[in-house]
Amino acid sequence: MQLQSFIEQNNILSPSQFSFRKHSSTENALVAMTEFIYSKLNLKHVVVIVQLDLSKAFDKVDHRLLLQKLKWYGIDSTWFASYLINRSHITTCNGQKSKSAFTKSGVPQGSVLGPILFTLFINDLPLILKLCLLIMFADDSNLCFSSPIDDVTRMWTNINTELENVTAWMDRNGMQLNVKKTKLLVLRPNTKQKIEIVPNVFMSGVKIEESSSVKFLGLTVDNQMNWNGHTRDMCKKVYAKANVLKQMTKYCTIDTRKTLITATCLPIMRYCCTIWGSANQYELKAVDRAIKYCARIVLKKKFSENVAQDLPSLG
């Protein structure tokens, strides 16, 4: 796509944005965030993650403002104007058609261009943030802060300042934050002396309550960084899918069973394993049991039989 090539050649996307660029994925975004957390905790800093939630982000993109931004990036907006403006829609139900209605905002979802245009629309958001690390993947955004334990008061001030900046940017750009779904995760360093840390963060006059964990791009991050919540949720998903396949694959060949398990269960366990793989031995044993459960379905073995020696041959 010419637009994608132009964006890459001119290095238009912000370094904070991990979506829709070559050699970048959700795992890259998560690695960047977890590396920030670990590095700061090793310095005995308090780490705070503020997870923003945009309400109907793709539907609220202002067409006129988007075209202005495209022009600012050096992209000819003539074709995009005809693509976005005066798009009409009709709904059909039980053979009856509604009146034609024009779309006043938003980018076409389900299209190739829609996500890219949205990414360009919010590409200037990082420019207003000077006091934090911003990690974005399309409309998913995390603000990462850190501070020495004896300077947390200043950190709360910095967080509130940045949230005011974000809110102002959203207002100027016609976007809306869902304050009720905005989450706050506080990670405290291991110290001999326990220090009371009470979050004091507000958005639009509403206090953001502390959460014990947040889910970002499919990875559950908890305030202990032990990955217990993620591995347990992951195993539940694997068992649920495996049990369905168990009923479906009774009369399938071993190759078919292997293909189905490989396509449905293994991707769940492989996703971001480079990150959650540091979980404690108890949790990793639970993951190992889930893997062997899937292997027994493939091999049609009883659940009392040992399959450890068969795992290498299954890949």
Model pLDDT for residues 89-106, shown as the tens digit of each residue? 788 888 788 888 777 788
Express each pLDDT in 248-261 by its tens digit: 877 888 889 899 99
Residue 191 pLDDT exceeds 70: yes
Q: What is the pLDDT of residue 218?
A: 95
- CA gap 97, 280 in Å, rounded: 58
Q: What is the pLDDT of residue 288?
A: 93
Q: Is the pLDDT of residue 273 over 90?
A: yes
Higher local confidence (pLDDT), 301 or 55: 55
> Which residue, chain included where needed, has tokens 């004896």?
150
At 282, the pLDDT band (50, 70, 90 cuts) reads very high
Task: Please state, rounded to an integer, the average pLDDT across all residues of the chain.
Answer: 90
Please state, in angstroms and rounded to a whole number, the distance separating the CA atoms of residues 152 and 202.
15
Least confident of 56-60, 100-104, 219-223, 274-278: 100-104
- 59-73, 152-166, 290-304: which range is least confident on average? 290-304
Q: 184 in helix, strand or coil?
A: strand
Q: Which one-letter DSSP state was computed for residue 181?
A: G
Q: Where are the alpha helices (DSSP H) in 206-253?
A: 228-248
Taking residues 47-73, what's their average pLDDT?
A: 93
* pLDDT at position 40: 96
- pLDDT over 80 (residue 312): no
pLDDT category at 314 given cuts 50, 70, 90 is: low
Q: Are 278 and 31 a contacting pair, CB within 8 Å?
A: no
pTM above threshold 0.75: yes
Q: What is the pLDDT of residue 299?
A: 85
What sign for the dihedral angle of Cα 15, 5, 125, 128? positive
Between 305 and 252, where is the model more confident? 252
For 2-16, write each residue's pLDDT tens digit.
888 889 889 999 999
pLDDT at 84: 81
Q: How far apart are CA 231 and CA 276, in angstroms?
A: 8
